[in-house]
Amino acid sequence: MSNTGRTVLVTGGGSGMGKAIAELFAKNGDHVYILGRREDQLKSVVAASAGKISSFTADLSKPQEVEAARKQILSKHKEIDVLVNCAGASGGVEHGLSLEAALEAWQGVMANNLTTAFLMTYAFRPHLKRPGGRIINVTSMAAFAGSSRVGGEAYAAAKSAIHGMMRTLVRQLAPEGVTINCVSPGYIDNTDFFGGKTLHEARIVAESQIPAGRTGQPEDIAPGVFYLASDEASFVNGEILNINGGQQFSR
């Protein structure tokens, strides 16, 4: 894949899968902007990138902060080649809450996982390269199988909603030469998704569910995103690429 020199936006690029995705694009000659709330993490990634990665600190669930990011980025680039919506967080709605508290928890999960993807897509879709622009959303196997954690219905619903948003946008953007796809990971080493278990405990649970016999790593996800952003994937549109070691067949 010979794409180089593109302008790439990666939300949630300060850690985990977002960081691995951003670093792979940068390694291949693209200039990458990582966006997220944790300034210290973003700056650490930028410092290690030899000038290939820039950052913008923002809460991407807030329209005014997305607008500020858009203005700054577009002041330097006339168009965007690739938007990767990877920002997200685990979380759930604990049982026994009041309705008001349950709604607040639900809205928090939606803001972190769905609203961020919607606002970034809405803000930057007019500025995507035509033809050739790419949107890739990082979702979750929970969109198909549901969440394994108690109270995880909000997280599963948010990820499922991104799939529905993608399918709708395919019809709108495909005639303009812009593709939109999803990558759906299974378990990626992260104790947050296992209710506070230690990393060792979480791996034991995950490995028992994954036919490949090991847990996923952020570096397993990045190449799938990179492929969907390539010229070679110009006819791949509305696809959900499962990257989970076969875990979807074990539930």
Strand, coil or helix: what is 78?
coil
pLDDT tens digit sequence for 61-91: 999 999 999 999 999 999 999 999 999 988 8
In 3D, which of 20, 135, 157, 27 has the Cα closest to residue 81?
135
58 CB-side CA count, 13 A: 25
The Cα–Cα gap between 138 and 87 comes to 8
**Average confidence score pLDDT of the chain:** 92
pLDDT tens digit sequence for 201-235: 767 777 878 888 888 899 999 999 999 999 999 99
In 3D, which of 11, 17, 15 has the Cα closest to residue 188?
17
Tell me whether residue 122 is one of the annotated catalytic residues: no
pLDDT at 138: 98
Q: Which domains does the chain have, with CATH numbers?
A: 7-249 (3.40.50.720)
Residue 135 backbone dihedrals phi, psi, to 5 degrees: -120, 130
Q: Is the dihedral of CA 113, 67, 40, 181 positive or negative?
A: positive
The token duo for 64 is 């005014």
pLDDT band at 109 (very low <50, low <70, confident <90, very high): very high
CB-based contacts of 200: which residues, under 8 Å, 6+ apart? none
CB-based contacts of 132: which residues, under 8 Å, 6+ apart? 81, 177, 178, 231, 234
pLDDT at 3: 62
pLDDT at 197: 54
pLDDT at 96: 93
Strand-by-strand arrangement of the 82-85 sheet: 53-57, 31-36, 7-11, 82-85, 134-138, 179-185, 240-243
Q: What is the mean pLDDT of residues 139-148?
A: 88
The Cα–Cα gap between 102 and 221 comes to 32
Quickly list H helices, 174-234. Answer: 199-207, 218-228
Distance of CA 228 to the CA centre of its chain: 13
Look at 22-26, 122-126, 210-214, 240-244 and tell me which has the smallest mean pLDDT. Answer: 210-214
pLDDT tens digit sequence for 4-33: 799 999 999 999 999 999 999 999 999 999
pLDDT at 206: 75
pLDDT at 251: 59
pLDDT at 191: 44
Give the angle subtended at the CA of 115 by the CAs of 45 and 216, to the nearest 5°.
50
H or E stretch covering 85: strand 82-85
Residue at token pair 């792979």: 24
The Cα–Cα gap between 215 and 234 comes to 30
The catalytic position among 122, 155, 187, 227 is 155
R_g of the chain computed on alpha carbons:
18
pLDDT tens digit sequence for 168-204: 999 999 999 999 999 999 888 864 455 555 566 767 7
